Copies of this chain bind each other. A is one copy, B any other.
């Protein structure tokens, strides 16, 4: 990768392999009536593009899978291969390569069109499929869903068009040994300043390799996307284009009623954000050059969605007006089968500042 101003060494001993930490990191309490019934713990890391830890909560070294939060970096590999420009993808299509989308008509149509540009069909997708992540959308979907409906079909499309562009085997693109997966690992290693051998590898929901690394390290990669000025100019330009495409086309990144979409709409160009499965979130703040990562210890997705909104609001990235507009996500009421309000979720997010 290009020059970076400073990089602290990471020690593998700093990994938290799931042991409880002594720090209090309860970020959310779920009330039923006036009583706390459930609690959720989390970890947060906020770093600048030099790798300096600015704020944290819980254990910023928590070693955990970034899941779909890696998609914007997987899109970078598609850009650097030449495929994105070679096949003439616009920014809307590029945002879709970064998406965990709802499988709405516009998402599916675009996936098919991108594949067509590369001379490929839907059958090339090996992501498997599932009903939409948005229950309201799921009710409107066809009874038989093709792989293009998978929330990961944009990412797989990026992998396929890259493999096709480079003349590699398009039938084995999701194997860990495929050159494309090697390239993704290389990019994540470079941008997170983490040796490849220190990145944990496993298999994602859609069959491709997923990557586990300290929250703080992936926050550094995200900071480089937020402000790539320290990087080699071509890579920097691609990172700026990806962040810009996500912020300009938030619907393509998720869809109707989804937090990634609504949060980027309300952040008004101040942040790009990307959910990862099982309670992960990443956010980049271009104006400050910050990268932010969050993980809910028990994997609760809705709690992590509320958490990232609180963090961005506390850091002054999301305005009070934007925060208020997202109330249903960060301060949800709990209702029962009769539609009565029976409880609520209360966040208590206390970031430590590291001077």
> A39 contacts which chain B residues (CB < 8 A)?
18, 20, 297-298
> A212 contacts which chain B residues (CB < 8 A)?
32, 35, 37
Q: In the bound complex, how far is the Cα of B150 from the Cα of A37, in angstroms?
A: 23
Shortest C-beta distance, A348 to chain B (Å), equals 10
> A30 contacts which chain B residues (CB < 8 A)?
278, 299
Shortest C-beta distance, A40 to chain B (Å), equals 5
A101-109, A258-266, A313-321, A336-344: which one contacts chain B?
A336-344
Known contacts A298-B298, A336-B128; A278/B38 CB under 8 A = yes
Whether A120 sits at the interface, judged by CB under 8 Å, is no
Whether A200 sits at the interface, judged by CB under 8 Å, is yes
Q: In the bound complex, how far is the Cα of B205 from the Cα of A29, in angstroms?
A: 18
Whether A183 sits at the interface, judged by CB under 8 Å, is no
Evaluate contact between B202 and A32: CB separation under 8 angstroms. yes
Whether A171 sits at the interface, judged by CB under 8 Å, is no
Shortest C-beta distance, A174 to chain B (Å), equals 9
Whether A333 sits at the interface, judged by CB under 8 Å, is no
> A298 contacts which chain B residues (CB < 8 A)?
38-40, 297-298, 300
Extra A-B contacts (7), CB below 8 Å, given A32-B203, A37-B65, A37-B212: A20-B26, A33-B200, A37-B299, A129-B337, A206-B338, A207-B337, A207-B340
